[in-house]
Amino acid sequence: MAIRLSGKKVAESVYERLGKEISQLSQAPKIIFIRVGEDPASQTYVNAKAKRCAELGAVSETLVYPENVQESELLTKINALNEDASVSGILVQLPLPSHLDKEKVLETISPNKDVDGLHSANLGKLLQGNPRFVPCTPAGVLEMLKHYNIPVSGKHVVVVGRSEIVGKPAALLMLMNHGTVTICHSRTANLAEVTRTAD
């Protein structure tokens, strides 16, 4: 029998746990959000994250740069945040304008403050089965499966997509949890047929 998985219900339980953990810390964690330009979706995402931080008792600050910001200015600021002991995490909201080198920007963030888990060092640790920070969407998928007591071990998991932010880390998390993984993408033949083979 199929069941509907409620992401909202899972999120509420995670937020409750996080709120308790944060309240027991001697100093609230501080996260810096960096947004470039005025993309409406990016504004919405960053505002929602900042609001959630406040509700959980964490501190956040949003730095907004104009669409035409020089890459050197952005990298200089990230390096300063890396050195700032009061900053726990740094998150650069994607996508970035085309004149900015996304990889260079993400690689400038200290792996210890890369809460999005997109630095090559953090992706490498995930590949090794020893994750430090994991991209949020695949981490959320795994959290949902655990919440509903849906085992991954021994199951055939089909992941549709191979991006660094969702598909690849999702596949690695499923492997870490002993799933047998098939990755599908835009060049996969018979996509519908393959997805139907999944548990």
Range 64-70 average pLDDT? 97
Tokens 């970035």, located at residue:
96
Q: With 0-12 CB in 10 A as exposed, 13-18 as middle and 19+ as buried, what is 54?
A: exposed
Confidence of residue 131 (pLDDT cuts 50, 70, 90): very high
Cα separation, 161 vs 197, whole angstroms: 16
Among the listed residues 91, 105, 15, the one whose alpha carbon sits nearest the alpha carbon of residue 56: 15
Predicted pLDDT at 40: 94
Q: How many CB atoms lie within 10 A of CB 124?
A: 13
Predicted pLDDT at 2: 80
Has residue 156 got a pLDDT over 90? yes
Range 193-199 average pLDDT? 96
Please, what is the average pLDDT of the chain? Answer: 96
Angle, helices 120-127 vs 167-176, to 10°: value is 30
Active-site residues, by number, are 49, 93, 116
Q: Which two tokens stand for residue 22?
A: 């944060």
Confidence of residue 43 (pLDDT cuts 50, 70, 90): very high
